[in-house]
Structure 1
């Protein structure tokens, strides 16, 4: 596939990195020559320097031959105009744009062929807000992913002392939870992925990815770690798009929410907009303010300003002052592992969350969703099976007969909203949703090809 990526920042660079290994021809456009040089040295891709909203720049970057253009610069306006030019002058089939401003997003009628012809809108702030909300709604989780319209849930958690299944084999799950269908799809131990089988023993500090129906996931989590009480009191540092929207979601679910915002204008706006949230004007790294606002009794402190250092320092301070769980939004990839190895419970990576939202629209075949695990170390994808035994490589076959690439496994099959955990005898039928784990992203094109409908496969 020929793909033009506009913007060589963290999201654009990560996207190019992910797609360049998957048999795609990539061109990246950016104004910054140093960023482009770095990408050329690291990846086997083409680059072009210039303003991507200018027709001559797009033409010189060969947009007329692109199957897809993805605009992810930091400017909404550049992204939107680039899509307009690509549509009007070069008839680019698929145009994806990152749009951050709620002022634009609140008017979906703007984004049509008659107005601004963007096929897929990606809003990082909304994706991040939903991600953080899911972590708060599922205490003890490191990552929460819904599949098949919420019928299936994948949760990442860390195995802890006190968990009933610590130092036990996975096959013993059935004895502890006889009425629960659960699958351990991956374990990350000392930073390396393990594809577990029944003999695999769960160890303390393992990062475990489990999949089960939504009604059973809490029971599964309680077997692997110390069951955590639901969160109730939440303090948010930063009243921007993420912080303000997160507070709005939480207050509707009867959480007790406080939000700290430096800007008096933003704090005033939030005070008018939010009904039940206590809005405080001040610095979230002010020890006196945190103590005055009862930080030691907060269940979660969540730092989501646009400043990595401010988020990290305020979260560390909140933890030292007694907050039960602390989260920090961290944009720099090099900071993420460093932060989580310290006293901060969770580092939230905007670029990985955004990347997952983008990849679902880039993949070939009927891929419903794509999610990066462990900051891109692996992926879980949900794909719909189409065709019949003559036109499909998967329909009518048992899971045992699927020719999956190395490091890949079927996590679950959803048949008409019924979750079926994998066994060799499960047969894939048309319109089944198949959820797969891939420890090596290089094999994603193999999965895409496997699920594509064609002729003469038998």
Structure 2
């Protein structure tokens, strides 16, 4: 397969490397000379110029290419490149960072107006993954499964429960329920590979209806109410979540958590805090330096069930997480 990659930043370079490793032919278009010099060390056709230019795309062989992957730092360049490529019969994938263009982390087949077969918003993908880590398994939200009818629960195998030392397949679950995963010592295992259940395992079970929860608890040898059902969701105690960084990712995480958790968002930048306030409804937005222990203590971080750092500075994120611990 012949692939044209628009953009030789970190993402574009990694994509090019992976495609080469899979045996594909690759052309890369990049306007920045320094980035281009780096990509030239790979076995690719490296071209300097504007990836939105029909002429430059033609030089890259777009007329005979199988796919265009547009991952420049500009949404508009990515979109225009897709429009040109689509007119030549290419499959197209675009990175779209602006939430005004896409409402989901990854969209396939819904952006005909942009001529992109697949559009990926990295910030939204990251935010969705963070939210799922925080909410699954403690949140049983039925909207994503079977149009609101299914639920997901977590069962912690406490000492003495009858399911310990048994194989997942030996647990007789009610109709419509199945074991999705087993969390053990921080690793997530497929049930068929997890072996016998062990003490303190956390078992993720998907059910067609929440009314089956008591029967599932009995099947695992747990007492009634172990999952602590609350309305349409199940809680495990992570009620308060602190987010540091009013970035697009941080704001999106807060949006996805609002209504199910108490959310606090901290950032030093006054303008970013003001913008976050306009986008969020129930999140408490605080202007402050999360590296300052007094700020963390004053805002009650010690009571939080989770602390999430989403700034653009990796060292800052690591430091604030260490302080929060």
- Report the TM-score when normalising by structure 1: 0.53
Task: Tell me how many residue pairs correspond in the alignment.
Answer: 297
- Residue 185 of structure 1: CA displacement? 6.9
CA contact (8 A) 2:180 2:206 kept: no
Partner of 2:126: 128
Distance 1:248-1:163 versus aligned 2 partners, 3 A rule: farther
Partner of 2:206: 212
CA contact (8 A) 2:137 2:152 kept: no
> What SS is found at the alignment partner of 1:65?
coil
Query: What is the RMSD of the two structures over their aligned residues, measured on CA atoms?
Result: 4.3
> What SS is found at the alignment partner of 1:231?
coil
- Residue 310 of structure 1: CA displacement? 1.5
Query: What's the CA shift string for 1:371-422, capped at 9, x where partnerless?
Result: xxxxxxxxxxxxxxxxxxxxxxxxxxxxxxxxxxxxxxxxxxxxxxxxxxxx
Partner of 1:340: none
> What SS is found at the alignment partner of 2:11?
helix
- Residue 168 of structure 1: CA displacement? 3.4
1:247 corresponds to 2:243: no
Distance 1:34 1:162 in 2: 59
1:182 corresponds to 2:188: no
Distance 1:6-1:249 versus aligned 2 partners, 3 A rule: same
Aligned with 2:239 (options 232, 250, 265): 232
Distance 2:62 2:256 in 1: 40
- Report the TM-score when normalising by structure 2: 0.71
Query: What's the CA shift string for 1:278-299, capped at 9, x where partnerless?
Result: 1111122221100000111112
> What SS is found at the alignment partner of 2:69?
strand
CA contact (8 A) 2:268 2:289 kept: yes
Aligned with 2:196 (options 193, 201, 217): 201
- Residue 125 of structure 1: CA displacement? 1.8
Query: What's the CA shift string for 1:238-258, capped at 9, x where partnerless?
Result: 11212223323333x152221
Aligned with 1:281 (options 264, 282, 287): 287
Distance 1:2 1:86 in 2: 13
> What SS is found at the alignment partner of 1:257?
strand
Distance 1:293 1:105 in 2: 34
Map 1:19-418 to 2 at 5 A.
Answer: 19-20=19-20, 24-30=24-30, 31=32, 32-37=35-40, 40=42, 46-51=44-49, 52-87=51-86, 91-105=88-102, 116-139=114-137, 162=159, 164=161, 165-174=163-172, 177=173, 181-183=177-179, 196=192, 200-202=195-197, 212-213=206-207, 215=209, 229-251=236-258, 253-318=259-324, 320=325
Where structure 1 has 5 or more consecutive residues not aligned to the other structure, the ranges are 321-458
- Residue 57 of structure 1: CA displacement? 3.1
Distance 2:275 2:295 in 1: 21
Distance 1:221 1:74 in 2: 49
Partner of 1:360: none
